[in-house]
Chain A
Amino acid sequence: MAKDFPVKIEAHGFNFHYATKQALFDITLTIPERRVTAFIGPSGCGKSTFLRSMNRMNDLIDGTYVNGHLMIDGVDVYSKDVDVVTLRRRVGMVFQKSIPFPKSIYENITYGLTLNEKVSKSALDEIVETSLRKSALWDEVKDRLHHSAQGLSGGQQQRLCIARAVAINPEILLMDEPCSALDPISTGKVEELINELKDTYTIVLVTHNMQQAGRVSDYTGFFLLGSLIEFDRTRTLFTSPSQKETEDYITGRFG
């Protein structure tokens, strides 16, 4: 596969182990900057594990360890001198379940901003508005910014989580099945959003929905049993996969 793009994330022989079993085997791939990259594959194939390795969310699980290299902008994220907190500010994440904090909409968005620095009220107001506009939520919530975020609908909550993630202005946005709990209309809105955000952010998306991968992504990787079977341009992967397993999966013969 030709490297016809600036590289943002790069993995070389990356292995990931949970306490008792190995979840990822020898992953090698390059993820382009300011593109949408999707990972597909059946449940338990390791695509979420790989995604969560990128901002080291897997550190929360006891007994995990890695070997090989996983680099963002050429820096190994698992090297000893990496500050996890700074890493996570650069690599934002949106989860499968929308989980707004039990705070107001406004505070949900400003939470990440006010953690380490004092930001003026006017600057906060501005960031809240731009983040909500970016996530196409502004018009729906601008009159109730100080109401609880938990009163929003599921789709709105997920877009709020995206707004919350983009508010701290990361370089990479990891999305772990962001639409799996949403209805088709909300899903459409989130997908539109992904399309708009990819001008600014490098987006990595894990999805069970192959149509979604086909619709929104520029590159797609297919995972099976902890290995990366194939990684290519989305169009190529879906129309003329080079591997037998990929073809079987995308044509619905298993999975």
Chain B
Amino acid sequence: MSHPFQRSNIRPGEWIAEWSIRLVASVSIIVIFLIFVFVFREAATLFTAKSATNAPAEVSANPSSNDMKPDTYSEEPDVYNPEAEEPSTASGEPGAPGQFIRLSKNPRYPHYYNPDTGLLPDDIDDETAEEVATASGDSGDILSRLSGDTWQPVGETPKFSVLPLITGTLKTTVIAILIGAPLGILAALYVAFFAKPRVREFVKPTIELLAGFPSVVIGFFCLVTVASFIQDITGVSYRLNAMVGGIGLSLAVIPIVFSIAEDALSAVPKTLQEASLALGSTEWQTAYRVMLPAAAPGVFAAVLLGIGRAFGETMIAIMATGNAPLTSLSPFEPARTVAATIGSEMGEVVWGSEHYGVLFFMGVMLFVFSFGLNAITELYVKKRLMKKFQGR
């Protein structure tokens, strides 16, 4: 029996489309979730596994033997040639800086003395033994080695302090945002409210093109041009420093802040602009007293994404900052960011080693930081901003 509202036949095209959308959407959500799980799991090995996984074979092998092993001096690998029978003559003239001179006065180790460090081999031996003892401890010691202020992941006693990396990230990010956010927002204001349509049609795509610019090119530009420029005007001793890196990062930040802020500003109803102008305000007053507050959530999101880009950016940070893990707050000293460290060291780290775990741990740190930033914004700052700007 048929009636007017009978279900029609299945429409196969719509059915397929609907289900493929569901499938693709579910898969992408699952993939994102799995990425998180993977990163967290790898980072967790740092704390769960004992130091046996580190396999620091040469370290643990060393102190027991009474004979001085060449590997002990791996911090000066260029100076000391382990293959040579006579170290003092192996790599150039005797007595050159950093070389080990044969010295027969020491009763225990008659052969070697390092004039640079002033250490006799038995001093080195004591020190090394101590450090090795620390290194081969259990996971509690990993935490203690995460503190300190030296990032020296490869070596006799690897030091995994993330402090210099966090300092570096902080420095470059702050510089990048201090430069990038105002420029991006002002450019967005100009394009949204002041530029003639023809100018807007030209400027907006051009700046957005910069967002898709390969960061290696920006890094190269900073490495070559900006670095020289900064050195010329400030006369700093380190050509590549956090300032150059920050400027490079701001080049990546500006188009993002601009693009999103401009969208937010353009989405504010034009009637609001008219209403403000009709009250006898200038265009500039309208822009920053009415339009900018009305677009505040969007502009704020733009700045947040800019921050995210600044501390997540890897290539510019590797190329333009000097990439040296110094614990210093001076903007004119080299810096090294967390992302740059992961980017440059992940490729050659021993799979599953402690170093590997630390790199993943830093990845998790980046993730937690950006997640926390967004959460704080969403829950707290935005509300206060809204209240302040929009009287809610």
Chain A residues close to B by CB (< 8 Å): 55, 57, 60, 62, 85-86, 88-89, 92-93, 95, 97, 99, 101-107, 111-112, 115, 146-150, 161, 164-165, 168
Contacts and interface: CB of A to CB of B under 8 A. Distances in A.
A86 B279 CA distance: 10
Contacts of B274: 57, 60, 95, 99
B183 interface: no
B58 to A, nearest CB: 66
Nearest to B274: A57
Nearest to A111: B279
Interface of B: 196-197, 269, 271-282, 285, 289-290, 293-294, 389-392
Contact of A115 (B272, B278, B285): B285
B390 A148 contact: yes
Contacts of B289: 111, 115
A89 B280 contact: yes
Given A103-B389, A150-B390, A165-B279, 4 more contacts: A99-B275, A102-B389, A115-B289, A168-B280
Contacts of A55: 278
8 contacts: A99-B271, A99-B274, A103-B293, A105-B391, A111-B279, A115-B281, A115-B289, A165-B278
Contact of A85 (B282, B290, B392): B282
Contact of A101 (B196, B280, B290): B290
B392 A101 contact: no
B391 A149 contact: yes
A-side interface mostly:
mixed
Given A62-B197, A97-B271, A115-B285, A103 B391 contact: yes
A127 B391 CA distance: 19
Contacts of B294: 101-102
A115 B280 contact: yes
A223 B279 CA distance: 27
Contacts of B277: 57, 60, 88
Across the A-B interface, give the 6 residue pairs with the lowest CB-CB distance, nearest first: A104-B391, A89-B280, A112-B279, A102-B390, A93-B278, A88-B280
A92 B278 CA distance: 6
Nearest to B294: A102
Contacts of A111: 276, 279, 281, 289-290
Residue in B197, B272, B275, B276 with the greatest tally of chain A CB atoms within 10 Å? B275
Given A102-B293, A103-B391, A86 B271 contact: no
Contacts of B392: 147-148, 150
Contacts of B279: 88-89, 92, 111-112, 115, 164-165, 168
A148 B391 contact: yes
A101 B282 contact: no
Nearest to A107: B391
A101 B276 contact: yes
Contact of B275 (A62, A105, A150, A161): A161
Contacts of B280: 85-86, 88-89, 112, 115, 168
A62 B196 contact: yes
Contacts of A146: 391
